[in-house]
Structure 1
Amino acid sequence: MTKPSILVVEDEPLIADDIADTLTKNGYYVVAIVDEGVDALQAMEDHKPDLAILDVNIEGDMDGIELAPKLGIPFVFLTSYYDKATLDRAKVLHPAGYIVKPFSERDLIANVELALHKVPQQPVAAKAHPEKLFVKRDQEILSVMSDQILFAEAFDNYAYLYTESEKYIISHTLKSIEEKLVPLGFLRVHRSYLINFEQIDSISEGYVFLKGHKVQIGKSFRKEFMDRLSLL
Structure 2
Amino acid sequence: MVEKIRCLIVDDDIISRKMLEVMIERVKNLVLVESCSNPLLARQILASQPVDLLFLDMEMPDLSGLDLLKSLTNYPEVIIVSAKENYAFQAFDYEVTDYLLKPVVLDRFLKAIDRVEKRIALEQDSYTTPESIFVKTNNQIVSIRLADITWIEAYGDYVNIFTEKDRFIVHATMKGIESKMPRDQFLRVHRSYIIRFDRIQAIEDTVVIIGKKLIPIGESYKSELMRRLNLL
Normalising by structure 1, we get a TM-score of 0.48
Which of 1 and 2 has higher RCO (CA within 8 Å, sep 6+)?
Answer: 1
